[in-house]
Amino acid sequence: MANNQEKKIVAIVPSAGVGKRFGRRKNKPFHLLSGKPLIIWSLEALQGVKEIKEIIPVVKEEDMKTVASLIEKYNISKVKRIVPGGKERQDSVYNGIKVLNDDVSVVLIHDGVRPLVEKDLIKRTISELRGFDGVIAGVPVKDTIKEVSSKEMNIVVLQTLNRNVLWAIQTPQVFRYKKLREAFEKAKHDNYYGTDDAALVERYGGRVKIVMGSYRNIKITTSEDIQVAEALIRI
């Protein structure tokens, strides 16, 4: 495969989620973290990685003008277009993939609500792609994980899983464009929804590698996560 400098790498930033668990009136991507909207933290990190040639935010249709204004305000020059989201996160990512042309070699996907991603992690996921169809960031789980039965009124433990082989998966996730598009198209045909983008590539025969992410690279899911992120910034 060509060197990174010869590849066209595009980043897709899904940010169209409803955010039901967040519990704030303002849409989650626009909530302020240390005075700056969450989505801008992610976009600025991607903007600072020279290997990435274009960034495509995927947002709710009613938020597109707001995002355009923020991109202009914060001078995110690699954003050339904004794409409307779909019903589910997977639909939103697929909307981003569909606007790409075959001159794209690599697609990087990063959640718009993972504001503390570091440029070094983004670069490592890109650089480790050789020989694989995808590279994803993750961290070993710290807690004991139990599989339970959900078919009964009482939640019953079925087994305790070996946490030494379990990882909590993050973004960024980086894929060869053609393999990713093929996986999303097949999933659309099969009406299959995965829990992350890599699940689709894995389902349709792709080889995916994990690189060590960061415990700081948290996803903002609830309002309490904002407080955690604020504390991490101060460390």
What is the domain partition of the chain in residue ranges? 4-234
What tens digit of pLDDT does each residue of 201-229 get?
Answer: 999 999 999 999 999 999 999 889 999 99
Please say whether the beta carbons of 59 and 15 come within 8 A: yes
Are the C-beta atoms of residues 24 and 221 closer than 8 Å to each other? no
- Confidence band of 139 (pLDDT split at 50, 70, 90): very high
Q: What is the pLDDT of residue 223?
A: 87
List C-alpha distances in Å: 219 to 2, 100, 133: 32, 26, 24
Q: How confident is the model at residue 20 (pLDDT cuts 50, 70, 90)?
A: low
What's the pLDDT at 4? 45
Question: In this predicted structure, what is the pLDDT of residue 150?
Answer: 77
- Rounded CA gap, 48 and 193, in Å? 32
Q: Which range among 5-9, 99-103, 150-154 has the greatest average pLDDT?
A: 99-103
Mean pLDDT across the chain, nearest whole number?
93
CATH top class, domain 4-234: alpha beta
* Residue 182 pLDDT exceeds 80: yes
